[in-house]
Amino acid sequence: MTPGGRRPGHADTRGEIVDAAKRVFAAKGYDGASLRAVAREAGVDPALVHHYFDGKADLFVAAMALPFDPRSVAAHTAGSSPASMGARIVEGFLTMWDHAEGTGSSFAACVAGMAASTSVADAMREFVAERVWGNTPVEEGESDSPTRHALVSSQLMGLAFTRYIMRVPPVSTATPEEIGRWAGPTLDRYISGPVG
Amino acid sequence: MTPGGRRPGHADTRGEIVDAAKRVFAAKGYDGASLRAVAREAGVDPALVHHYFDGKADLFVAAMALPFDPRSVAAHTAGSSPASMGARIVEGFLTMWDHAEGTGSSFAACVAGMAASTSVADAMREFVAERVWGNTPVEEGESDSPTRHALVSSQLMGLAFTRYIMRVPPVSTATPEEIGRWAGPTLDRYISGPVG
């Protein structure tokens, strides 16, 4: 038993730590959060956080995983909407982030972590490459796939940056569907059109 | 005379403070920098920094102003290059930031400041609206200009984010000219093509 009285090996402990980390990062940003604060929020011993996570960056990526869960976007892109594939990806990505912002996650905290630490940015890039691109319609094995992946990422991250951080209207005020109509053709070209 | 022996009203003092701020922000990031550290770096009394700047956010925007100087982009977009207007804007924007990164400014510090502080993000949005869009070919007075401005911003910020922070190849390794060819048609459509 830890000083807090929790079970070190309980199946839900890791999930509770991730949930606590999401709240602490949303409240404190990346620089302001600490593993100690996350442990306190989760009601567990700090050693238990160190048992499950390699450090703050590792915990941050885990905490960011849910808003970035590719299945949330996949559910949108697989729908019966008549919109283009690009429009549906934009709509799914922003709907996912709108929901995450509404439940305590923060795109700003995610971005602040990447800007403050190259190891966090590296981890996020690896996370996107490993978990997101495996579920997209961008053809695997094509020699120009990295270019297409990077360009799609650039427009999606730029839209989220403009919507949630710089808050430039009307990108900050429009619905995900509207933004999908504006930027969808961009992603369509990056995915399957002529590039370069 | 201040304790440091400098002239409080000297014509170059403000410029020296801005130069010092650029070095401190590049070294410490936004959260880690302080007006006191900037004053120490500039060799002036902290009261002098407070005399010229309303606070850290104000100083940050001033320090960011040179990398974002719209004349640097205008020099590119006005050139005789056969590339499209969109390609020349992308090339000019990234060339400007490549140069800024090489001389101690940092896109990551700029982004970290915006992500950490809504007042910095507000200031940057106002700065872009007031100083950048006044020099672009996006038609003024059109009812959809805000949409076009916001979409152009989203792709430019997304490309810089992908190049300097997430460092996703080949956007992180290509020349500004190459990226201009890839993303130029996107800006062309946002500037003058069908949107929505």
Whose structure tokens read 């000019």?
Answer: B92
Predicted local confidence at residue B1, as pLDDT: 44
Closest residue in A to B181 (Cα) is A196
Tell me whether residues B170 and A150 touch, CB distance under 8 A. yes
Tell me whether residues B169 and A183 touch, CB distance under 8 A. no
When pLDDT is averaged across residues B71-76 and rounded to a whole number, the result is 56
- Examine residue B93 and state whether it is found in any structural domain, yes or no: yes
When pLDDT is averaged across residues B121-129 and rounded to a whole number, the result is 69
- pLDDT of residue A64 exceeding 80, the answer is no
Model pLDDT for residues A84-127, shown as the tens digit of each residue: 889 999 998 898 888 888 776 678 888 887 888 776 677 667 66
Query: Which residues in chain B have Cβ-Cβ distances shorter than 8 Å to A185?
Result: 189
Per-residue confidence band for A136, with pLDDT thresholds at 50, 70 and 90: low
- The domain tally of chain B equals 2
As a whole-number percent, the residues of chain A with pLDDT over 90 amount to 38
- Examine residue B71 and state whether it is found in any structural domain, yes or no: yes
Model pLDDT for residues B153-188, shown as the tens digit of each residue: 999 999 999 999 999 999 999 999 999 999 999 999
When pLDDT is averaged across residues B75-100 and rounded to a whole number, the result is 79
As given in the structure block, the two tokens for residue A31 are 């620089």
ipTM confidence score: 0.70
Q: Are both B86 and B138 inside the same structural domain? A: yes
Model pLDDT for residues B133-142, shown as the tens digit of each residue: 654 555 445 6
Nearest to B179 by CA among B76, B121, B92: B92
Cα→Cα distances B19→A20, B27, B41, Å: 41, 13, 9
Closest residue in A to B110 (Cα) is A115
Q: What are phi and psi of A157, to 5 degrees?
A: -65, -40
Nearest to B158 among A147, A161, A182 (CB): A161
Query: Would you say B154 and A171 are in contact if contact means Cβ atoms under 8 Å apart?
Result: yes
- Examine residue B4 and state whether it is found in any structural domain, yes or no: no
Nearest to B166 among A112, A114, A159 (CB): A114
Highest mean pLDDT: which of A79-83, B114-118, B145-149? Answer: B145-149
Q: Are both B38 and B127 inside the same structural domain? A: no
> d(Cα B146, Cα A177) in Å, to the nearest integer?
18
Closest residue in A to B182 (Cα) is A196
Q: Are both B178 and B82 inside the same structural domain? A: yes
Cα B187 to its chain centre, rounded Å, is 18
By residue range, what is the domain housing residue B76?
Answer: 66-192
A127 versus B111: which is more confidently predicted? B111
In the A/B pair of chains, how many CB contacts fall below 8 A?
143
Q: Are both B90 and B177 inside the same structural domain? A: yes
Q: What angle do CA A112, A67, B118 make, to 5 degrees?
A: 35
B91: left (phi over 0), alpha (psi -120 to 50) or beta: alpha
- Examine residue B131 and state whether it is found in any structural domain, yes or no: yes
Chain A: closest CA distance from residue B40 (Å): 23
SS3 A167: coil
- Examine residue B103 and state whether it is found in any structural domain, yes or no: yes
Nearest to A108 among B31, B115, B128 (CB): B115
Chain A: closest CA distance from residue B107 (Å): 9
Per-residue confidence band for B76, with pLDDT thresholds at 50, 70 and 90: low
Tell me whether residues B114 and A196 touch, CB distance under 8 A. no
Query: Which residues in chain B have Cβ-Cβ distances shorter than 8 Å to A172?
Result: 150
Model pLDDT for residues A7-43, shown as the tens digit of each residue: 455 568 999 999 898 788 767 666 678 899 999 999 9
- Interface probe, candidates A64, A90, A154, A186, chain B, greatest B C-beta count within 10 A: A154
Q: Are both B128 and B97 inside the same structural domain? A: yes
Tell me whether residues B111 and A108 touch, CB distance under 8 A. no
Q: Where are the beta strands (DSSP E) in chain B?
A: none
